[in-house]
Chains A and B, each alone.
Chain A
Amino acid sequence: MANKLINQMGLPKSIVNIFTARNIITAKDALSHTEFELMELLDVGKEEVTSAMAHVSEVVCPPCQTALLLLEQRVLNESLAGHLSTRLKGLDEALCGGIPFGVLTELVGPAGIGKTQFCLKLSLLASLPTNCGGLDGRVIYIDVESKFRSKRLIEIGINSFPEIFLKKGMAQEMAGRILILHPTSLSEFAESLHQIRVSLLQQQVKLLIIDSMAALVLGEHDSEASRQQALGWHVSFIKSLAEFSRIPVVLTNQVRSQIGDESRMYSFQAQSHSIIKDNPATYDSHLVAALGINWAHAVTIRLVLEARSGQRFIKLAKSPISAPLAFPFKITSSGLVLLDDEGIEMKGPEINTIHCQGLSLSTLAVSSAEYILRTKNA
């Protein structure tokens, strides 16, 4: 909308000519100047500029909807009320039905906690026929770290939906609906995003997964500032992509370790801050999400996957609809399974912390050995 041409907005001819003469062609050009600058540039009075800008603004500004209208539209257009069910009862209930359409949902967690497993499960769910509770659509899976294993996908499918996957040809069909992309650089990724934009319209794409966003960005940019800038553009693009096509978008994020607590304080907290500084215990390193605070603001829902004394938890760290709940889970042959559907309500900033205790490699080794055996048998 911002690229609308000024000469097609029904402004008086004389004003339009002045704008064009100064190479201000689109609404974006005009709105990127303050009114004062425009007066300078166009050499016209304040009144003319104000009235012209008022007109331009009226044409460009987005339509107004009442919240009631929004609610009615949601009910009308989306039979499943706009959610992709995760089939994890507790999580679905907390999120009012599952991963919502049109927003970004982020999975954060240490390596090996089950982020990719969760993504695999979600892509299966989206490709299932509607009579089985799926979305009956295609899935675009952007696999940056080359972690996608179709064998594991089929295994999850067979174990969680035997009635569908044991039918002849169905497994292939389901798997065929998942389109995998392997971008190796951020520019390649940007290119594929543009292609996706087109294919979202033409094909029945119902889910977009990016695994992982962090690998994409961290690989290329070493300084914080350039990373932010590179990320910034993609964030708003993916957001608009999700919104205009109304599909759920799931992204994963890695963790990195940080020393001390200091960057989580404001200056007015300085007093308490100095007390903490004296206490050497807080110099322990702890895990934080790899993409920084700017990114964290941009995602609508953040799910933290962590391990505390050997037990894995999935936590609803940020969500506009849900209470801060934590659910214990384990990874089985059918993917991620909740041990408890009630959830534990977390107090305070605890919900945002990422622990990785007792997630010993031996258990991982056992489970992967188990997995190899299983795939051999199958």
Chain B
Amino acid sequence: MEVGMLPISASKRGKLLAAGYTTLDAIARASPTHLARGFPFQFQFSTLLSFSNWVCIYVQKFLFFSPTHYLTLTDIDVSESEATEILNLASKPSALERPNGSHTAVVGDLDNILGGGIKCKEVTEIGGVPGIGKTQIGIQLAVNVQIPQEYGGLGGKAIYIDTEGSFMVERVLQIAEACIEDMAEYSRHFHKDFQACDVKMHPNNILENIFYFRVCSYTEQIALINYLDKFITENKDVKILIVDSVTFHFRQDFDDMALRTRLLSEMALKLMKLAKKFRLAVVMFNQVTTKHIEGSFQLTLALGDSWSHSCTNRIILFWNGNERHAFIDKSPSLKSASAPYSVTTRGIRNSTSSCKRIKMM
């Protein structure tokens, strides 16, 4: 990897290159004092640390470096605390696998194929044709994330970013009411005690915990995602971030497709960072487009091929005969499978043909 790819300003990079450090390897093998001597300006330790952070990310992402390379990189820092910080960073992927109630349940069959629900700390993309129920799933998730922990939920809050203006409060109210009824039934079923089955939740509580942003242009969308870091720090307990849809503005206003790809991938990285930092689930909705493959037109999700790398999981909603189905198109941990679901007045439910009973988890 070359110095040219480092996230530092052009002038600093110029100085690095002038001092003869063309590859990261070279920097890695030099001690800080060496580096500082090579520079006419004071080279700060924090900058070096950010180098190695950056490299670590690359180590994880592209496996450019072998573990021994990585070890030489840690030679840069002398202090123990910083070394641990880097090591922490490097060990993050393993931390992901810790099971700790980190799923937002959608419903029954869908959860089964998803291994328990939408995962926290991951970015999940859901796409499908118009009218298949994307917004419905979004609203359902925003409500379900608030199910208290006693009932097997996360008891968190939701952020809903609406780019299409299809969020209907009336519908949220319907789904919230149905969700509370379901919880009451669930507690009756398990406690057999009519005192305890009193669910202390009002639909208004649920509505109150959905933070809604209406985004009217792609600039606003980028700005909002930049700002969310601060917003979530201020409003703790946000457990899900829903972007409905990530596509709309990026599909309308662009002539320069290369710029679009760059902006999108930066946004995707930021979303991934948010998911990790605040341990929340990020759900993005995507639209579909037709693509000419092997002599015939087929449906694929919009925004192009490079975008399809930017999410951890990808779920495609489609019509299978007369049923709505969800298909896991991409996931690092789940096997590809599909499950039916249906959209009812009460929200997203199991397909009636496969199961009549409404399951909670």
Contacts and interface: CB of A to CB of B under 8 A. Distances in A.
Contacts of A292: 290
Contacts of B329: 268
Contacts of B95: none
A37 B172 CA distance: 40
Nearest to A292: B290
Contacts of A64: 211-213, 231
B55 interface: no
A63 B162 CA distance: 12
Contacts of A349: 319, 322
Interface string A321-360: 1010000000000000000000000011111100000000
Given A27-B223, A318-B130, A267 B165 contact: no
Interface string B141-175: 01000000000000000001000111111111110
Given A34-B262, A62-B220, A103-B165, 8 more contacts: A60-B223, A68-B204, A71-B169, A266-B300, A267-B298, A297-B248, A320-B135, A320-B166
Contacts of A102: 165
B91 interface: no
Given A266-B316, A294-B251, A70 B212 contact: yes
Contacts of A352: 131
6 contacts: A40-B10, A57-B225, A58-B227, A67-B142, A348-B321, A348-B322
Contacts of A39: 7-10
Contacts of A283: none
A266 B298 CA distance: 6
A296 B208 CA distance: 31
A143 to B, nearest CB: 25
Interface stretch (A156-164, A179-187, A257-265, A306-314): A257-265
Nearest to B225: A57
Contact of A232 (B8, B226, B252, B289): B252
Closest A-B pairs by Cβ, 5 of them: A348-B322, A57-B226, A318-B131, A2-B219, A232-B252
Interface of B: 7-12, 50, 129-131, 135-136, 139, 142, 160, 164-174, 204, 206-217, 219-220, 222-227, 229-231, 245, 247-249, 251-253, 255, 259, 262-263, 266, 287-290, 293, 296-300, 302, 316, 318-319, 321-324, 327, 329, 336, 343-345
B220 A296 contact: no
A62 B9 contact: no
Contacts of B245: 297
A293 interface: yes
A294 B289 contact: yes
Contacts of A267: 293, 298, 300
Interface residues of A, number: 75
A339 B50 CA distance: 70
B213 A232 contact: no
Interface stretch (A111-119, A130-138, A197-205, A234-242): A234-242
A54 interface: yes
A298 interface: yes
A292 to B, nearest CB: 8
A268 B135 contact: no
Contact of B266 (A35, A62, A235): A35
A239 B290 CA distance: 23
Interface stretch (A41-49, A169-177, A364-372): A41-49
Given A43-B11, A64-B213, A66-B210, A57 B252 contact: no
Given A27-B219, A293-B129, A45 B248 contact: no
